[in-house]
Amino acid sequence: MRTDRRSFLAAGGFAMIGLDRVAAAAATSAVRAQAAQGAFPRPSGFARLSVGDIQGLVLSDGSYRFPQFQPLFAPEAAPDELNAVMREGFADPGHVPSEVNTLLLRIGGLNVLVDAGFGRHEGVPGGRLLQSLSDAGLRPEDIDAVVITHAHRDHLWGLATPDGRPTFPRARVLMSRREHAFWTEGAPDLAPLRVPEEWKALWRVRTPMVIAAVKAQLELIAPGDRPLGDGIELLDTAGHTAGHTSVLVNGGNESLLVAGDLVHNQVFSLARPRWTTAFDWDLRRCVEVRLRTLDRAASERLRVLAYHLPWPGLGYVARDGAERYRWCSDRWAW
């Protein structure tokens, strides 16, 4: 494990994928440079969707990749079994891509963002959310509310600029009371996380700073609350973090489960839902809530938005045996 960690850090921890989202008017030179590397940009960073009578956009904050699965993903799995599961799901065990799929909803005349991406802080990937918002013809000032599923950096840090100003100056910021307390009432207990200590040290400093930057906009919420009317219901899916919250969007005759980080990969997270990640805080509870939620999604045939699954992260969950599932991408989503 220690050797894996050294090699992971030596690879820089993150390596950006060439498929960043860019605006349709991107400079020709930039497009040619990407094409020369074998990668082409998408013409925009958003995909339209509807949930009954609620209209929405999936907004990309970018994409990135990890240089290897273990030790960060499925650390308890035997390498041979992990490789076999990934190959069975037509995925490359040596290539770990991850998207950052945020969601914008139009509810009751309000523009409601679910999660805020990485932001443009030094040393982090992503940071494309504002460009994607612009691609869709919107400005940060047009956002009326932001619902935070949890306070990990790829969901929260986009709330504030690097110099400590709110990114969305008019927005109400809705965050779980339990998640807020974890990060602000004394030093957060990150000991259960199996990530490098360098990451933990940075998170202990920057995450409370981002929360402080939006203090005047902050509203603390709890599972079961409907702070924006009947269109959004907050679900208790704690485990990945102390106050992880998923969102059920109700659009009359249709629903959408915004899963947050209940799953991290379209293959192993569903085929082996008892496998965890190094980012999970309460392993037992994390597995329990994932199994319960995947079962509900399959039973109720819920459409799902998965934050880190292949763009635009929309699909369905199907049973594939006892405690085993598979991801069915929504091919008509975009």
- pLDDT tens, 279-295? 999 999 999 999 999 99
In this prediction, residue 3 has a pLDDT band, given cuts at 50, 70 and 90, of very low
How much is the pLDDT for 133? 95
Element (H, E) at 35: helix 28-36
pLDDT tens sequence across 230-282? 899 999 999 999 999 999 999 988 999 999 999 999 999 999 999 999 999 99
Amino acid at residue number 39: A
Using an 8 Å Cβ cutoff, are 222 and 245 in contact? no
pLDDT band at 94 (very low <50, low <70, confident <90, very high): confident
- What integer pLDDT is reported at residue 65 of this predicted model? 82
pLDDT band at 30 (very low <50, low <70, confident <90, very high): very low
Task: Tell me the HSE value of 171 on the side-chain side, using a 13 A CA sphere.
Answer: 29
Domain residue spans in the chain?
Answer: 45-329
Q: What is the pLDDT of residue 29?
A: 39
Query: CA separation (Å) from 280 to 14, 63, 74, 160, 242?
Result: 18, 21, 11, 24, 10
Cα torsion angle, 174, 156, 247, 296, sign: negative
State residue 43's pLDDT score. 52
CA distance 247 to 175: 12
- CB atoms inside a 10 Å sphere around CB 112: 26
Predicted confidence (pLDDT) per residue in 143-185, tens digit: 999 999 999 999 999 999 999 999 999 999 999 999 999 999 9
In tens, the pLDDT along 182-225 reads: 999 999 999 999 999 999 999 999 999 999 999 999 999 999 89
Q: Give the pLDDT score at 93.
A: 77
Q: Is the pLDDT reported for residue 31 higher than 70?
A: no
Q: Who has greater pLDDT, 236 or 120? A: 236
Q: What is the pLDDT of residue 124?
A: 74
The terminus-to-terminus CA distance of the chain in angstroms comes to 40
Contact 149, 173 (CB under 8 A): no
Q: What class does CATH assign to 45-329?
A: alpha beta
pTM: 0.86
Q: How much is the pLDDT for 331?
A: 62
How large a percentage of the chain has pLDDT more than 90?
72
301 pLDDT above the threshold of 90: yes
Q: The tokens 């700073």 sit on which residue?
A: 209
pLDDT tens readout for residues 66-86: 878 899 999 999 999 999 999
Best CA proximity match to 61, nearest among 127, 154, 160: 127
- Whether the pLDDT of residue 334 is over 50: the answer is no
pLDDT band at 4 (very low <50, low <70, confident <90, very high): very low
Three-state SS annotation for 142-193: HCCEEEECCCCHHHHHHHECCCCCECCCCCEEEEEHHHHHHHHCCCCCCCCC
- The pLDDT score that the predictor gives to residue 185 is 94
Q: How confident is the model at residue 115 (pLDDT cuts 50, 70, 90)?
A: very high
